[in-house]
Amino acid sequence: MTRQTKQTAPQQDRLVTLLIRLSGYSSILLVTLIFIFLMKEGLPALADVGIGELFTDRWYPIEGYFGILPLISGSLIVTLGAMLVSVPLGVGTAIYLSEVAPSSTREVVKPLVEVLAGLPSVVLGFLGIIAAAPLLRRLLDLPTGLTAFAGALLLGLIAIPTIVSIAEDALNTVPAAYRQAALAVGATPWQTIWGVTLPAARSGVLTAVMLGMGRALGETMAVMMVTGNAPTLPHGLDALFMPVRTMTATIASEMGEVATGSAHYQVLFLIGIVLFLFSLVVNVLASSVSFRQRKRAERLLS
Amino acid sequence: MNERPMMLSSVNRQGLTPRRVQQLGYGLLRLISLVTVLPIFLVVVYIVVRGAPSIDWEFLTAMPREGMRAGGILPAIIGTVYLTLGTAVFAVPLGVAAGVYIAEYAADNAWTRLIRIAIINLAGIPSVVYGLFGFGLFVIFLGFGTSILAASLTLTIMTLPVIISTTEEALRSVPQSFRVVSISLGATRWQTIWRVVLPQALPGILTGVILGLERAAGETAPILFTGAAFFLPRLPQSPLDATMALPYHIFVISTQVPGMPVQIQFGTVLVLLVFVLGMNLVATLIRSRARARREW
C-alpha cells in the first residue's frame, strides 16, 4: 500500500494542489460575481427610473415613485442610534474583560457575549415585537412602539458582540511592556488603561466600532420587524421615535412581490449595490487600519 | 500619547485621589458589562420559560394545522436541518480547502492580500444582499428555482468566510516542527498536510465549521427569496423543492398571520434557540477539550 501511494504521490499532489489553489481564489471570484450580478440587475434602474427621480423623498413603488432618500435616512438613523448604545457598552465591556475582570468573571461574560452573537436576528425581532415595543410605547407614551428607537436598541444589542470581540483583541495585543512601564513610573492601573493601553489600541478599537457599524447597517430581519416599516423622510430629532424603513428591510419585504426585471426590481438591486458598496468601504477601511496598527506594533517592538 | 498630560499631577484635584478615580472607573466598567450581559441572560431565560410549556411530542413531530395556528412545526424543523446539511455539503470542503491554501500554500504577495480582502468583504456583506445575489444567480440564472439547493448555496457563500478564517487559524497553530519532520521523512507536501497537519488542526476546524453552520441555521434574509416557503402541506421531496425553515417560520407567525397563538410563537422560537445554542455548545466543548488535551 505504501508503495502504491508513493508511485501516485506526485500526480495526486499536483491535482490536489490545483483544487486547493482554486478554492483559495474562490473568495475573490465570489465577491466579483456578487458585484457583477448586482450591477447587471440594478444599474439599468439609473436609466429606466432616472437619477433625479431616485434622489427624491417619496418611496411609493406601486405608483412609480422610487425616491430612495427616506430609506437611506432610515438606515442612517437606526444605525447611528444603534452606535450610541453599542459603542459605550461594547468598548466598556471589552476594556473590562481585557484589563479588569478576574478570569472567573471573564469565563461567564465571554460565553454570554458569544451567545448573543449566535442569537438569530429573527429571534431578537420577535422579542422586540412581543416585549420591547409594547414596553417602549407605554414608557414613552407613543402611538406605537414600533419605531426607529426600538430598532436602534435591538441593533445596538446585535452590534455588541462584534465590537467586544475585536476591541478586546486590540487591547490584548498591546504589549505588556507598555503597561509595565506605566505602572513602574507610578501610574495607577486605571491611569494606565486610560492614558496608555486604550490610546495604544485605538486603531483596533476604531476598527471594532466600524465593523460593528457595518453589522448594524446590514442587519435585516430584526430591524424590519420592529421599526414599523414606514418609508418617510424624517424631519428633526423626534424622527427617532417615529416608524422608519431601512434599505435592508425594503429589499427583504418587497423583493418577494416584484416582477423580475421591472423597474421596482431594478431599484431594489440598486439599493443592494448601495449596501454592498457601503460594506466594502467600511471593511476595506477597517482592515487597512488594523494592518497599519500591526505594522506599527512590529516597528515599535523591533 | 505624548500630547496627553500625565495624569499623575491630578492628585487631589477636586478631592479625587487616583485611587478613588480608579474605584469609580472600575465600578463604571463593571456596571457597563452588567448592562451588556444582563439582557442576554434575560432573553434566554425569558424564551425558555415562555416556550417550554408549548414543547411536546406533537409540537415537534406533527404538521401545522388550521392555518399554522395549531399542530406542530415538523416541516420547519426538517427544513432547517436540510438547509444546514445542504450548506455543510458545499461550504465545508470549499472553506477548508481555501483555509489550507492560505495557511499552507499561499506566498506573501499581492494576490494573497487580495484574497484576504475578498474574505473580509464577504464577511461584511449584508445578509439580504446575499439573498439578492442568490436569487439572481442560483434561482434565475442557473434555473434552480426557489429551492433547498439555491438556498443552501446562498448560505454557503455567507458561511465561507467563517470557515476559511478559522481553518487558517487552526492550521497556523500547528507547530512548524510537525511539518519539518514529516517532510524530512520523505512525505510530500500534501501527504504532510493530510496525515499530519490536518488531524492536529481538526478540533479547531470543526469548531469553526459548527459556528459557521450555526449562523447559517439561524439566518432568514438570505433564504427569503431563494428557498423559504410560507407554508407547505408536505415535507420537501428533493433538493429542488422549496422548504419551510425555523427562522422564516418565526418571521411569518409573528408578523404575517393574524391571531397567532403566542404559545406557538414562543415554542417555535425556543426550538430554534435550542438548535442554534446547541451547536454553539458543541463547538465550545470541542474547543475546550482540544485545548486540555493538546500536547504541544
Residue pointed to by grid coordinates 451547536? B279
Instruction: Read off φ and ψ for residue A22, nearest 5 degrees.
Output: -60, -45
CA distances from A191 to A169, A246, B1, B27 (A): 20, 41, 13, 15
Residue numbers in A near B251 (CB within 8 A)? 122, 125, 221, 225
pLDDT of residue A246: 92
Q: Do A195 and B137 touch (CB under 8 A)?
A: no
Note the pLDDT of residue B234.
85
Task: Compute the distance between CA of residue A194 and CA of residue A99 in angstroms, rounded to an integer.
Answer: 11
Q: How many residues does chain B have?
A: 296
Distance (Å) from the alpha carbon of B8 to chain A's nearest alpha carbon: 6
What's residue A292's pLDDT?
A: 58
- Give the least confident one: A41-50, A241-250, B13-22: B13-22
CA A166 – CA A205 distance, rounded (Å): 7
CA atoms of A241 and A77, how far apart (whole Å):
11
CB of B283 closer than 8 Å to CB of B214: yes
Cβ of B225 within 8 Å of Cβ of A196? The answer is no
Q: Are B174 and B65 in contact (CB under 8 A)?
A: no
Look at residue A237 and tell me whether its pLDDT is greater than 80. Answer: no
Q: Which residue of B has its CA nearest to A129?
A: B254
Contact A16 B280 (CB under 8 A): no
Task: Give the confidence band of A302 by pLDDT, cuts at 50, 70, 90.
Answer: very low
Q: Following DSSP, what letter does each residue of B174-194 receive, concatenated?
A: S-HHHHHHHHHTT--HHHHII
More confident position, A248 or B5 = A248
Instruction: Please tell me the predicted confidence (pLDDT) of residue A24.
Output: 93
The count of C-alpha atoms lying within 13 angstroms of the C-alpha of B51, restricted to the half-sphere facing its C-beta, is 22
pLDDT for the residue numbered A92: 96
Closest residue, chain A, to B118 (C-alpha): A28
Q: Supply the ipTM of this predicted assembly.
A: 0.88
* Mean of all residue pLDDT scores within chain A: 87
Q: Is A244 helix (H, G, I), strand (E, B) or coil?
A: strand
Task: Assess whether pLDDT exceeds 60 at residue A167.
Answer: yes
Q: How far does the CA of residue B191 sit from the closest CA of chain A (Å)?
A: 8
- B98 vs A24: CA distance, rounded Å: 4
CB contact under 8 A, A27 and B215: no
User: Would you call A33 and B225 a contact, using CB atoms and an 8 Å cutoff?
Assistant: no
Tens of pLDDT, residues A57-71: 888 888 888 988 999
User: In this complex, is the C-beta atom of A8 within 8 Å of any C-beta atom belonging to chain B?
Assistant: no
Query: Mind telling me how many Å the CA of A250 is from chain B's nearest CA?
Result: 10
B183 touches B242 (CB < 8 A) = no
Residues 79-138 of A with CB under 8 A from B: 88-90, 92-93, 95-97, 100-101, 108-109, 111-116, 118-127, 129-131
Rounded to whole angstroms, how far apart are CA atoms A37 and B136? 7
C-alpha cell at B231: 407554508
Which pLDDT value is given to residue A294?
58
More confident residue, A259 or A92: A92
pLDDT score recorded for residue A9: 66
Helix (H) or strand (E) holding A66: strand A65-66
Question: Distance (Å, rounded) from C-alpha A285 to C-alpha A280?
Answer: 8
Q: What pLDDT band is residue A228 in, cutting at 50, 70 and 90?
A: confident
Contact A221 B247 (CB under 8 A): yes
* Average pLDDT per 10 consecutive residues for chain B, totaling 296 residues: 48 70 92 94 94 92 86 93 97 96 91 91 93 93 94 96 94 92 90 92 93 93 92 89 94 88 93 94 88 75
Predicted pLDDT at B91 = 97
What was the pLDDT predicted at A13?
82
Spatial separation of the C-alpha atoms in residues B184 and A80, rounded to whole Å: 57
Q: Which residue has the cell 419605531?
A: A147
Quick check: B28 and A96 in contact, CB under 8 A?
no
Distance from CA of B111 to the nearest CA of A (A): 9
Taking CB atoms and an 8 Å limit, are B220 and A191 in contact across chains? no
Residue of A19, A91, A126 to mutate, interface with B, max B Cβ within 10 Å: A126
For chain A, which domains are there?
64-232+239-301 (1.10.3720.10)
The larger pLDDT score, comparing residue A283 to residue A235, is at A283
Query: In which band, very low, low, confident or very high, does the pLDDT at A240 lie, cut at 50, 70 and 90?
Result: confident
What is B75-245's CATH superfamily? MetI-like (1.10.3720.10)
- Vertex A180: Cα angle to A179 and A181 (nearest 5): 90
Residues of B in contact with A275 (CB under 8 A): 125-126, 128-129
Domain residue ranges in chain B: 75-245
Counting DSSP H helices and E strands in chain B, the numbers are 11, 2
Burial category of B293 from C-beta neighbours within 10 Å (exposed 0-12, middle 13-18, buried 19 and up): exposed
Q: Which of B249, B262, B233, B255 is nearest to B76 (CA)?
A: B249
